[in-house]
Structure 1
Amino acid sequence: MSKIFNIVEDVSFESGGLRTAVVNLHNYINETSNNLSSVLITNHKEEQDAFSEFKPKDISVWNYSSELKKHLNSNINEARLLHLHGAWMHTQYTSSKIALKSNIPYIMTLHGMIEPWYLKQKQIKKKIYLELFLNKMLKNSNVIHAITPSEKANIFKLTGHKNIVEIPNFIHYSKINITNEYDPSEDFFLFLSRLHPGKGLDILIESMSKIENKKIKLKIVGTQNAYSDLLKKQIKSLGIENRIEFVGSIFGDEKFKLFANARAFIAPSYSEAIGMVNLEAAICKTPVITSYNTGISPEWNNNGGIMIQPKTENLISAMNEAAKWSTSERIERGNSLRDFVIQNYSWENKGKMWEELYNSL
């Protein structure tokens, strides 16, 4: 069996969709491939994960780990290729250098981290890092993997790389035990993700203050942080504290039950590479309102979901529409969206694209 080293800075629960995407790829290869196996190497994992973990000890702000570097130098010849996930950490930097020195091919998946919206955040630091390190890492990669058409176009514009392969994020629908049907005890919209400025929570909260239905609530699921403190100030200034609930982090069956009973899941992201939560919600038969900036196919609009530009007026219109759905329409939309995701975004139907790419290198 040829080994693929999947290397990523963080697969803890706090990494959100990054964990889902990378762990699903790792599991798919190990469960289905006849000639490939995956080894997952990271700086941060959960206690129960059977992955190789090398925590940063020296320069934590850059995820610097001398132990990771030592491990890769000692084991690099076991790898057929390296698949590097992310952009801005020592994790990718040292892995690319060792692969190049050892004449081992490597793939880079950026997971939306160099999309224009994100490049504008801490712009000067990122520009310097691009010029000093990242541009060279990308240039030397055998393949750059893009998750969406827009990401592919932006990567080419930035790098001019001749081998950019587009494969969307997928979901293992058969591994999600869907036992809950739509039967809510209260009427609510749902947001579930990292609480981060890029997720569009500011316009979601503003829209909640302006929609016609003042009885429907919003549940915000995610680990609270400094940004959630800012959101709470926004909520208080709008006088809608009684309509928005911060739930904290929820995982497993409890999360899927919450998805299943939401009137709609809302992810109005400013920039995203096919957010995994959109796919999870759809598999739970929940209609999803999301933005065109997530890179999901516009056919989402014709299969039970709603896509918008991430602007307050657009989101208000979509939420007003969803608030008026009858129970039967809400259920029908959820069923249609689930079928669409299974056909277009599932490991069961599309995962072979990764085997074909790995075997081509």
Structure 2
Amino acid sequence: MKILTVIPAIGSVYGGPSKSVIELAEALAQQGISVDLITTNANGDQTLDVPLHTWTECNNIRIQYFPYLGWQDYKWSFALGKSLFQHIKDYDLVHINAVFSLTNLPAYWACQFHQVPYIVTPRGMLEPWALSYKARKKRIYFNLLERPALQKASAIQVLAASEAERIYPLDLVAPLVTVPNGIHRHHFDPPATAERFWREFPHLQDKQLILFLGRIDPKKGLDLLAPAFAQIQQQFPDSHLVVAGPDNIGYLPIAKKLFRDAGCQDAATFTGMLNGDLKYSALAAASVYVAPSYSEGFSISILEGLASGLPCVFTDACNFPEAAGVAKIVPVNQAQIAQALHWCLANPEDASAMSQQARQFIFENYTWDKIAANLVEIYDAIIQNQPLPHLHA
């Protein structure tokens, strides 16, 4: 089985979606699948320092980068589109990641022209909140370009059952298959230590850290977190919020003002993006994880918080109701977020017991090897023109 994965960009500044696509591709390769990945060299307002127009091998997958032209939120790559039309017949199936992306349009069209089946993963971008953000532009794009492509897909992969429920009103005819994101167990077992994070941020060493791990973006709910944390900080004076994530859209000054206006800016540290061992060390240093999002597809960051054995607080907009027994899942509401954070800090023994259950829950259900095996079944069914397994009911 030969699979082509298409994604507009995999630069680290794009956070969880980039990470999940790469890790899933690597996990598929571990299942014995031949996986190629094509993308652009975009990385926010920078470009990746990578070879262009040639295959590079990394962790058993091949990746090819192409240059692009950027305008506002959009990227277009003539070279990538040309390559797709030339080589897409070499693959049994194409897996296209993201919607509202000009980069992906040639992938749709090449698949249709050469009759190669394709599956699309919107990664939360068809959620109601996401559709309402810059709604007029998205409505035009969706009706003219995205909907026709989605209607011809062999399947649409959603990351959670609740995401599927919110997509149904769009009346798409392509079947929905639910395949979540995952983690690599070896990144969390044995657990990381906090030493590296303390070396980078020694002034935080004696604090009770609440960790926000995500992009600095309006949908991430920092406007809710700022007043909620201000309340927590009054109740727990040694608490400190770590906001760890990249700012791709220039939202950082607004985000910092939210904390100034709430009167807790001195107890909040914006670290920028944390990657690799430093990120895992930050998770080890934290006392609580929080994700106050208005909308998520299925957050890798939440999985990482749970797998790290942290008490986790996140909103029901994060599409993870399955974790209700092992995390504090609250409505998208400032008071409810504050109440859940208070419980975690005020009840350390109960919070620790909950978080250890969460850790085991993730290891049993959300590792990439299990998820990749399920996706291979779906790929095989599409290629063989058989009924799809694991369909959302």
Question: Normalization by structure 1: what TM-score?
Answer: 0.93
Cα 1:42–1:177 shift into 2, 3 Å: farther
Q: Alpha carbons of 1:243 and 1:41: their partners in 2 closer, same or farther (altered >3 Å)? A: same
RMSD, aligned CA: 1.9
**Number of the residue aligned with 1:143:** 155
Q: Is the 8 A contact 1:195 1:222 kept in 2?
A: yes
User: d(CA) in 2 for partners of 1:167 and 1:99?
Assistant: 22
Question: Deviation per CA, 1:114-150, whole angstroms, max 9, x where unpaired?
Answer: 1100111111001101111111010011111111112
8 A Cα contact 2:209 2:286, kept in partner = yes
Deviation of 1:59 (Å): 5.4
Pair 1:42 & 2:39 matched = yes
| Separation in 1, partners of 2:120, 2:293 | 23
- Are 1:116 and 2:137 an aligned pair? no
Counterpart in 2 of 1:341? 362
Distance 1:170 1:88, change over 3 A: same
Matched, 1:164 2:186: no
Query: What amino acid sits opposite 1:37 in the alignment?
Result: S
Partner of 2:385: none
Aligned residue-pair number: 355
User: Aligned with 2:358: secondary structure?
Assistant: helix
Quote the Cα distance in structure 2 between the aligned partners of 1:44 and 1:311: 38
Tell me if the contact between 1:268 and 1:291 (Cα under 8 Å) persists in the aligned partners: yes
CA shift at 1:256, angstroms? 0.5
Structure 2 residue 254 is matched with structure 1 residue 233: no
Paired residue secondary structure (1:351): helix
Q: Does structure 2 retain, via aligned residues, the 8 Å contact 1:260–1:281? A: no
- Higher RCO by CA contacts (8 Å cutoff, separation 6 or greater): 2
- The corresponding residue for 2:329 is 307
Equivalent runs, 1:1-361 vs 2, <5 Å: 2-33=1-32, 36-44=33-41, 46-47=48-49, 50=57, 51-57=63-69, 61-176=73-188, 178-180=190-192, 185-211=206-232, 212-224=235-247, 226-298=250-322, 300-303=323-326, 305-326=327-348, 328-361=349-382
CA distance in 2, matches of 1:274, 1:131: 25
CA distance in 2, matches of 1:58, 1:347: 32
Check the 8 A contact 1:182/1:331 in 2, yes or no.
no
Render the CA deviation track for 1:34-62: whole Å, top value 9, x for unaligned. Answer: xx211111113654774211121375753
Residues 178 and 256 in structure 1, CA contact (< 8 A), matched pair in contact too: no
- 1:176-206 Cα offsets, whole Å, 9 max, x none, are 4644358964211000111111111111111
Cα distance in 1, alignment partners of residues 273 and 107 from structure 2 = 32
* Matched AA of 1:209: A
Distance, in Å, in 1 between the alignment partners of 2:79 and 2:86 is: 11
Alpha-carbon distance in 1 for matches of 2:18, 2:325: 29
Runs (5+) with no aligned partner, structure 1: none
- Residue 348 of structure 1, CA deviation: 3.2
Task: Name the amino acid aligned to 1:41.
Answer: I
Measure the CA separation in 1 of the matches of 2:142 and 2:124: 15
- Superposition deviation, residue 339 in structure 1: 0.4
- Matched letter for residue 39 of structure 1: D
Structure 2 gaps, min length 5: 43-47, 51-55, 58-62, 196-204, 383-393
Looking at structure 2, the residues matched to 302 and 234 of structure 1 have their Cα atoms a distance apart, in angstroms, of 32
Letter of the structure 1 residue corresponding to residue 381 of structure 2: S
Q: Quote the residue 2:45 is aligned against.
A: none
State the distance in 1 between where 2:143 and 2:39 align: 25
**CA contact under 8 A between 2:150 and 2:174: conserved in structure 1?**
no
Q: 2: CA distance between counterparts of 1:67 and 1:207? A: 47
SS of the residue 1:226 aligns to = coil
Which residue identity lines up with residue 43 of structure 1 in the other structure? T
- Identity within the alignment, %: 25
Q: Secondary structure at the match of 1:230?
A: helix
Residue type of the alignment partner of 2:236: N
1 CA distance for matches of 2:345 and 2:118? 47
How far residue 154 of structure 1 moved from its aligned partner, in angstroms, is: 2.5
- TM-score normalised by length of structure 2: 0.85
Deviation per CA, 1:57-93, whole angstroms, max 9, x where unpaired? 3757531111001111111111111110000112221
AA in 2 matched with 1:143: A
Check the 8 A contact 1:170/1:351 in 2, yes or no.
Answer: no
SS of residue matched to 2:100: coil
